[in-house]
Structure 1
Amino acid sequence: MTDTTRGNALSLLGLGDMGTALARTWLAAGHRLTVWNRTAAKAGSLADQGAAVAATPAEAVAASGLVVVCLLDDPSVGSALDGIDLTGKDLVNLTTGTPAEGRARAAWAQERGARFVDGGIMATPTMIGAPQAGGYVFYSGSRALFDTHRAVLEVPAGARFVGEDPGHAALHDVALLSAMYGMFAGISHAYALIDGEDVSPKDLAPLLSEWLGAMGFFVGNAAERLASGDFTTGVVSNLAMQVASSGTLLRTAAEQGVSAELISPYLELMRRRLDADPAAHGAEDTAGAITLLGRR
């Protein structure tokens, strides 16, 4: 295959569930797509849809100026691209990784003559190619690369550039996912509390959704307080009161025979903040407890 840098040509390495969804979307949009996967059989259906199938990663990389990688992990990226000439290539890494891995991979790509952006996919495979689903991808690294290929990158899902630090796409990705899992933990605890009671999960579900939506104000409120360092102005429910009432949550869990392991770490964090200086922190908003977690 020869190098093709014009227009809508790109190469994709990795055909797991996400990679396959990406490939199908680009093909449906009329892009000239070359694909490679370690297990070649996964490329069969895509070949039927018009994809060119490369026998090796080197062949796939040589086929296009824009190379997208969506593999298992960062070591898989290094292994697949080891020894391949990347001079003049635009490398987009959609492999899930950490901020440090994104920065290291950007330096690695630069040493090999390639422009680089890292990506964090905020979507499931079923959300790819479905704009109404709301999925998008964080990108960070080379702004020039992103601007050059933005139209192509926006085909599978929305594209949000979050800075030239190559680690920031992964940082945003993991920050949002961490918040998601924290929410899942609270929801799981709530359902565990009603297990065995004459309360249907289906009846509790709309109440949970409504309440969590109402509590969404905490996102912006915490951001403003962390930015200003002011945890006391306009507080409605202060830390001292919340710590005092947290005992009710723990006693209820015990009465229901439910482990408090999903919520007790946050309750303990609030207590630690209060105990450090009750006079200073008691009137604060709970966002002050966040400072115990970071590098401040």
Structure 2
Amino acid sequence: MTANASAETPVTLLGLGAMGTALARTWLAAGHPLTVWNRTAARAEPLVAEGAKVADGAAEAVAASTLVIVCLLDDASVAAALDGIDLTGKDLVNLTTTTPAEARARAAWAEERGARYLDGGIMAVPPMIGIPEAGGYVFYSGSRELFELHRESLAVPVGTTYVGEDAGFAALHDVALLSAMYGMFAGVTHAFALIRRENIDPVAFAPLLVNWIQAMVDPSVEQTARQLVSGDLTTDVVSNLAMQVAGTKTLLATAEEQGVSAELIQPQFALMRRLLATSTGEEDLTGTVDLLLR
């Protein structure tokens, strides 16, 4: 096998939940010989008509292909599925959502058993799989050589982004982006709660909210990154920390007036007040990043 393995590379896939099934169908449609296994065997049956071979057990599935993709519930599920199975000479690609520490430990575990290892963090939901214009992709980390070897096969279901030799980096990128997403959802939830009892159409309000978030996020995230690298937290600041902390009083008072709990936004405001207590107030919010480090 050479770098950028061909579209006919045999693939084994362990795990046929919603994501695993979506992945399976894209490899089948692209002409890959596909062997699948799932703990609940009935999930594999619909794929037989599409050309998949269903293995009687995980060991049989692993033996069928050099490239073995794992997409299970969690790291414990991976350990259980592969327990006692010979992985010698296998290229193990783990797309299971895990922590960075779990990914690093799983990489060492795989290497001890004679396998090469890549960890992956899927930045997509099942309906995005196989649809390039949907914008989904997978973070990959671990062996660069292994990534390049299977890049074309891995790119069949969704785009690929390699983030480093450290096997934990894919999971770290994955969780960092997901954490930002949930923080954003917290703000969106609070905003809708504020208007919930009023004669304001949420559907009409939604594009205003989307446009505002986009307008604020694009420059803010880039500036935060630059400031973290340079260490200069005061250059090009538009709304300084002191001004923003003062403004939180109005936000909290409005929540009180509207009968809305401030539990989703209070933690950020508390962090801002902590930063102000130890600074001149001329910087923006970048300093709160290091306050979170323990």
TM over 0.5: yes
| Cα distance in 2 for residues equivalent to 1:155 and 1:186 | 35
Paired amino acid for 1:262: L
Q: Give the secondary structure class of the aligned counterpart of 2:287.
A: helix
2:286 aligned counterpart, secondary structure: helix
Which one of the candidate residues 222, 235, 238 is aligned to 2:237?
A: 235
Cα RMSD, aligned residues only: 1.1
Separation in structure 1 between the aligned mates of residue 280 and residue 265 of structure 2, nearest angstrom? 21
Mapping of 1:103-118 within 5 angstroms?
103-118=104-119
Alpha-carbon deviation of 1:178? 0.5
Identity across the alignment (%) = 68
Opposite residue 28 of structure 2, the aligned amino acid is L
In structure 1, what is the equivalent of residue 41 of structure 2? 40
Paired residue type of 2:250 = T
Matches within 5 A, 1:113-124: 113-124=114-125
Distance 2:152 2:62 in 1: 20
Partners of 2:137 and 2:206 lie apart in 1 by: 27
| Corresponding residue SS for 1:87 | coil
- Structure 1 unmatched runs, 5+: none
3-state SS of paired residue (2:84)? coil
**In the alignment, what sits opposite 1:156?**
157
Superposition deviation, residue 199 in structure 1? 1.0
Cα drift, residue 281 of structure 1: 3.3
Q: Helix, strand or coil for the counterpart of 2:179?
A: helix
Q: Which residue of 2 aligns with 1:190?
A: 191
Matches within 5 A, 1:273-288: 273-275=275-277, 277=278, 280-288=279-287
Q: CA deviation at 1:8?
A: 1.3
- Give 1:268's aligned residue: 270
| AA partner of residue 259 (structure 2) | G
Residue 187 of structure 2 is aligned to residue 199 of structure 1? no
1-structure distance, mates of 2:238, 2:17: 48
Q: Answer yes or no: is the 8 Å Cα contact 1:140–1:165 preserved in 2.
A: yes
Does structure 2 retain, via aligned residues, the 8 Å contact 1:9–1:31? yes
SS, match of residue 119 in structure 1: strand
Map 1:75-90 to 2 at 5 A.
75-90=76-91
CA-CA distance at 1:235 after TM superposition: 1.1
Query: Structure 2: how far apart are the matches of 1:207 and 1:228?
Result: 34
Q: Whole-Å Cα distance in 1 between the matches of residues 146 and 79 of structure 2? A: 20
What amino acid is aligned across from residue 85 of structure 2 in structure 1?
A: I
Gaps of 5+ in 2: none
Q: Counterpart of 2:243 in structure 1: which amino acid?
A: M
Q: CA deviation at 1:196?
A: 1.2
Q: Distance in 1 between matches of 2:241 and 2:106?
A: 42
SS class of match (2:56): coil
Instruction: Tell me the distance in 2 between the aligned counterparts of 1:100 and 1:210.
Output: 37
TM-score when normalising by structure 2: 0.96
1:55 alignment partner in structure 2: 56
Among candidates 237, 246, 249, match of residue 248 of structure 2 = 246
2:69 alignment counterpart: 68
- Alpha-carbon deviations, 1:256-294, whole Å to 9, x = none? 00000111100110001001x2xx331011111111012
Q: SS at the partner of 2:184?
A: helix
Give the number of equivalent residue pairs. Answer: 288
Q: Are the equivalent residues in 2 in contact too, given 1:99–1:167 (CA < 8 A)?
A: yes
What one-letter code is carried by the residue in structure 1 that aligns with 2:232?
D
Q: Distance in 2 between matches of 1:267 and 1:220?
A: 21
Counterpart Cα distance in 2 of 1:76 and 1:203:
44
Deviates more, 1:88-97 or 1:232-241: 232-241
Q: Which residue of 2 aligns with 1:292?
A: 291
Paired residue type of 1:287: T
Residue 126 of structure 1 deviates from its aligned partner by 0.4
In 2, Cα distance between equivalents of 1:200 and 1:108: 54
Q: How far 1:83 moved relative to its partner?
A: 0.7
Deviation at 1:210, TM superposition (A): 1.0
- Residue 282 of structure 1 aligns with an amino acid whose one-letter code is G
Structure 2 distance, partners of 1:206, 1:14, is 38
CA contact (8 A) 1:119 1:137 kept: yes
Aligned amino acid, residue 66 of structure 2: G
The equivalent residue for 2:31 is 30
Alignment check: 8 A CA contact 1:92 1:119 kept: yes
Does the aligned pair in 2 maintain the 1:273–1:281 contact within 8 Å? no
Q: Corresponding residue for 1:129?
A: 130
